[in-house]
Amino acid sequence: MARDFSFQWIMLAAVGALMAISAVPARAQIICGGHNYLVARLAEAFEEKRLGYGVAGQVAIFEVFVSASGTWTILMTDVK
């Protein structure tokens, strides 16, 4: 009976750990730099070209860069 009791606690702890790990949000990679530098690096490293852009109020400009091979990047530029 003691063995069953400890096994139940181990299973409960394992389930709790899995739930805690799965609750961690995914984060995108954030790279900061000058706009012209980043655009040049996207063209050089990934052959990406700007497909479109949008404005988020008076706060930021969002640009979408894509390549023929299927890679893509969303670049946000703070206008301040």
17-68 pLDDT, tens per residue? 666 666 556 566 777 888 999 999 999 999 999 999 999 888 899 999 999 9
Predicted local confidence at residue 13, as pLDDT: 77
DSSP 80: -
Predicted local confidence at residue 22, as pLDDT: 61
| pTM as predicted | 0.61
Predicted local confidence at residue 12, as pLDDT: 76
